[in-house]
Amino acid sequence: MKFSDNLPSAGQSIVMVFAVMAIVFTFFLIIVGDNGISDLQLMKTERQAIIVTHAELKRKNLQLYHEIERLKKDTAYIEAVARHDLGLIGKKEIVINMSHITPGSEKR
């Protein structure tokens, strides 16, 4: 048995080179191609942002639900909202606008 008997032929070498190139190209596509690892990382980042946004919206919805329930049932809260947000006053109240009076201009 000769040493040259163990060496691959030229045709086998070419096939081996193409097989290695195909494997390298496949790994390259897995890493940077469409739906590859880079896209997976991007999708994970987007998913995390969506989860955070969802949690914020859920919290805001719950807060609005509680406010709606208070507006339906709590008359003191309704009055406070009307006074603060709408600037309303009670039936027996009088509004005195003192914004035009400057300090020291009042009569004694």
H helices of the chain, where? 10-32, 37-73, 75-86
Predicted TM-score (pTM) of the model is 0.52
d(CA 30, CA 39) in angstroms, rounded, equals: 10
Q: What are 30-88's pLDDT values in tens digits?
A: 777 777 787 888 899 999 999 999 999 999 999 999 999 999 999 999 999 988 898 88
